[in-house]
Amino acid sequence: MPLRPVATIDTDAVPAAERAGFWADCVHRLFNGLKSDHYGDTGFDGRMSTMHAGDVVLTRLEANRHRVLRSATLARASETAYLKIVAPYVGCAGVEQKGREAWVTPDQWSIYDTTDTYAVANPVRVEHLIVMVPKQRLVERGLAVDALMARRLGGSGGVSRMALETMRSAHRELPGMGDVAARGVGDAITQLVHLSMLELAGMTTTVTQREALRERIKQHVTDRLGDPALTVDALALALNCSRRQLYNAFSEEPDGLAGYILRRRIEACRQVFDDRAHDRRSITEIAFAFGFSSMAHFSRVFRAHLGVPPSDYRRALAAGA
């Protein structure tokens, strides 16, 4: 039996100085006009291998930190409507769509609609499985997808974990399959994704109020990110709710409410580091501007999230200028 074709893209095939641009062009072509950037990094390496299981497309991706963005214009111009899944093997991904944000880590996945604006952040080096299921195959089954986009699945087991394991196994085994078997695998993936979304739809009716509170919390955190007194107790007082309600609102976040605040502060500092207009500002000044009161603590958590201490991060930016 002939092996199924595997489309491979590898930045090692081009000179180092051209890799970032080469990758952005490949992402643009492979994912129908998707825009990519690399957080201002000049050095980059990445590789992708893509296969088809009938009309389902599976891509294993390994790359340095990067972000992708689909604007409303690009979404409208897309030739094929897909629901797209990101499932990390290594690292994490932050999916934004429909006014929601879902962060997924290994053994979790999130889904988003390529016919609408979205963004996916990969702030550290990642290995992901990307799966694209034709949107029509789910919509024609009566599934209302808008309320299900940019949510986290898989972590609690059940059918969504089965879907994840099937997608991973499919990408691993597809090269040795014939067309008939591959189409059957694509159908199985579509069915399991459909069942996962139905299960999620049943849960969403019970979490509307919790989501509304979570959005209020996130807005409050954004408005007061630089306040070192921004704590769970302070939030409860400001929003006139209990600590328990706050914790419940963030029960789906892997690091809880305190972890969310910390991640937002680190990301805010990283964005300032990336902006060369702030080169003259010290690391201490920037850290304190976003609510940190201890440089030892800031350095420790920055390294835990991004893999390098802030001084090395900034030094690498300067070296790549």
Burial label, 108 (beta-carbon count in 10 A; 0-12, 13-18, 19+): buried
- Residue 195 pLDDT greater than 80, yes or no: yes
Tens of pLDDT, residue by residue over 20-54, are 888 888 888 877 778 888 887 878 999 999 999 99
Could you check whether 7-204 and 208-319 share the same CATH topology?
A: no
Whether the full predicted model's pTM is greater than 0.85, yes or no, is: no
Domain ranges (residues) in the chain: 7-204, 208-319
Bridge partners (DSSP) of residue 122 are 66
Domain 208-319 adopts which CATH fold?
A: Arc Repressor Mutant, subunit A (1.10.10)
Read off the tokens for 210: 């919790």
Top-tier CATH class for 7-204: mainly beta
* Rounded mean pLDDT, 11-26: 89
Under 8 Å CB-to-CB from 106, ≥6 apart: which residues? 88, 89, 90
In this prediction, residue 254 carries a pLDDT of 72
What average pLDDT does the structure give for the chain?
Answer: 87
In this prediction, residue 2 carries a pLDDT of 43
pLDDT band, residue 126 (cuts 50/70/90): very high
